[in-house]
Amino acid sequence: MRHGYFRRRGAAARITARTYVAFVLVFLFAPLLIVVIVSFNPTPNMNLEAGLSLRWYEQVARDPLVVAAFGRTALAAVCTAVISAVLGLSGALGAVRLTRSRWRTAVFTIPLIPLAFPALLFGVGLATFYHAIGVGFSIWAVIAGHVILAMPFVFLIMGAALERFRFSLLEAARDLGAGTLTIFRTVTLPLLRPAILGAMFLSMAISVDEFVIAFFTAGSQQTLPLVLYGRINLGVNPGLNAIGSVLLVMTMALAFLAARSSVLELP
């Protein structure tokens, strides 16, 4: 397993390395753990001896604003996933048919632009766009923006899946007399199912977690991160940790599901 380079590292070097890695990981996870721990704390102030309580979760669950925002977040996640899956799959199926390498490079490069593009710029751009065409801000305006963020991932995941796809199966189906639609329904779709599901879970995770686009385009139809933001500005309220934990669990669960569908492959 282990190749020669650095094989002779001594115990001291390994201990230093382990300490460094541990420090970085603790630093990365500390804020997440704190939010979850404090959310189960019965007193408003951080107090680890006070025991556990679901008080803040009950308070948050009875809050109509939070419940409505939760519903909108779920709606945005599902719609983003469905729309970006359809568009991304369509694009990827078209892209793998291209034979000219110049076209292929363009088609696989352009979707990467929104990934590195600052959300702030895209957010204000969308806001001015909706203003210019006279469309009001709403959850649908947010979804339209989230699709732009999620579609590149779907496209890339689908492109990678199609790389392994055995196109000879389609020819076999055609030789056996199946029509284009039948082939798509009975061969292409079932074979691509894990990739499609994984891409949809990832899209949902992106949408649930997204804040900046929603901030500029949601108007009064706030999503969960927007409610969290609004209340942070109002001052510290322990219920916020419960909202934060719910958001955390949602995104992490979706990311985990996406990873299980072998989307987040380790290099």
Partner 1 sequence: MTLATAVLSRGVEDSLPPLRHRARERRGHISTAMLLAPPTIYFVLLFVVPLMVLIAYSFYTYQNFNFTAKLTLSNYAQALTNPALRDFYFRTLKIAFGVSIAVVAISYIFSHILMYILPRAKRILYFLVLVSLFGGYLVRIYAWRTMLGRDGVVNSFLVSTHVVSSPLSFLLNSNFAIVIALLNFLIPLGVLPIFSAMQNISPRLLEAAEDLGASRIRIVRTIVLPLTTRGIRAAFAFCFIATMAEWVTPQLLGGPLDQFVGNQILYEFGETLNWPLGAAIALTLIASVVVILGVIFGLLRLVTRS
4-33 positions binding partner 1, by CB under 8 A? 4-6, 9, 13-14, 17-18, 20-21, 24-25, 27-32
The whole-angstrom distance between residue 123's C-alpha and the CA centroid of its chain comes to 17
Q: Kindly indicate which of the ranges 50-58, 61-69, 185-193, 239-247 contains the residues binding partner 1, using the contact rule CB under 8 A.
A: 239-247
Nearest approach in angstroms of CB 12 to partner 1 is: 11
Cβ atoms within 10 Å, residue 65: 12
Measured N-to-C along each axis, helices 64-95 and 239-260 cross at an angle, to the nearest 10 degrees, of 20
Nearest approach in angstroms of CB 136 to partner 1 is: 16
Q: Kindly indicate which of the ranges 52-60, 68-76, 90-98, 193-201 contains the residues binding partner 1, using the contact rule CB under 8 A.
A: 90-98
Nearest approach in angstroms of CB 254 to partner 1 is: 8
Among 108, 191, 257, 262, binds partner 1 (CB under 8 A): 108
Q: Kindly indicate which of the ranges 52-60, 66-74, 159-167, 186-194 contains the residues binding partner 1, using the contact rule CB under 8 A.
A: 159-167
Closer residue to partner 1, CB minimum distance, 83 or 221: 83
Among 142, 149, 173, 187, binds partner 1 (CB under 8 A): 149
Nearest approach in angstroms of CB 220 to partner 1 is: 14
Q: Position of tokens 């985990």?
A: 256
Among 76, 147, 183, 218, binds partner 1 (CB under 8 A): 147
The contacts found for 233-236 with CB under 8 angstroms, 24 or more apart, are: none
- Burial of 95-125, coded b for 16+ CB within 10 Å and e otherwise, reads bbeeeeeeeeeebbeebeeeeeeebeebbee
Give the Cα separation of 143 and 170 in Å (integer).
34
- Burial of 29-52, coded b for 16+ CB within 10 Å and e otherwise, reads eeeeeebeebbbbeeeeeeeeeee
Nearest approach in angstroms of CB 57 to partner 1 is: 15
Among 43, 53, 90, 182, binds partner 1 (CB under 8 A): 90
128 burial type by CB count under 10 A (0-12 exposed, 13-18 middle, 19+ buried): exposed
Nearest approach in angstroms of CB 175 to partner 1 is: 12
Which 168-197 residues touch partner 1, going by CB under 8 A?
none
